[in-house]
A = this chain, B = another copy of it.
Amino acid sequence: MPLTAEAIQKLKEKMKGKGFKLTGPRRKILEYLAENDGHPSAQEIHAAIRQMLPGTGMATIYRTMDLLARLGLVRALVLNDNRLHYEIDRDGDHHHHLICTGCRRVEEFASCTFEHLIGDIESATRFVVKRHDLEAYGLCPDCAHKARCAGE
């Protein structure tokens, strides 16, 4: 479910509000992320942006993603394939990722009982817990089926 035009507008305004220029590449990157949900890598974003704005350099993608992450508009994901992936940070939407080690498909799942444990962990360790990442790796239904058919 892509973001609405108003939501996209809000992202752009948050950017300008913090004193950052709303440039061509930044505008396109925001639109791309908002209109396609998924978990693209910098390379994938670069390829997509180049279709609309040829000549956009890789460095700009990295710089912009870093900025968006610092602004809290985007989250960086470690999916264990030696590159960072990104997703729009829909506020209030807490979820985690399930990565198929067969085909690299990424699914999201919402249920997270971890929140309930944070208090216990904090009192046991005296840490102040800010955030947490949870990724589960396994086989998607298709790949699990194929694996089963291939015997063992």
Residues of A participating in the B interface, judged by any CB pair closer than 8 Å: 78, 80, 98, 100-101, 107, 109, 111-114, 116-118, 120-122, 124-141, 144
The CA of A113 and the CA of B115, in the complex, are separated in Å by 10
The CA of A47 and the CA of B129, in the complex, are separated in Å by 31
Residue of B nearest to A98 (CB): B127
Which residues on the B side are within 8 Å of A100 (C-beta)?
A: 127
- Interface contact B136-A109, CB-CB below 8 Å: no
- Interface contact B114-A127, CB-CB below 8 Å: no
- Interface contact B139-A128, CB-CB below 8 Å: yes
Which residues on the B side are within 8 Å of A116 (C-beta)?
A: 113
Q: Which of A112, A118, A124, A132 has the most CB of B within 10 A?
A: A132
Nearest chain B CB to A59 CB, angstrom units: 17
The CA of A126 and the CA of B100, in the complex, are separated in Å by 11
Residue of B nearest to A148 (CB): B128
Which residue from B109, B113, B128, B131 sits with its C-beta under 8 Å from A113? B113
Q: Which of A112, A118, A127, A129 has the most CB of B within 10 A?
A: A127
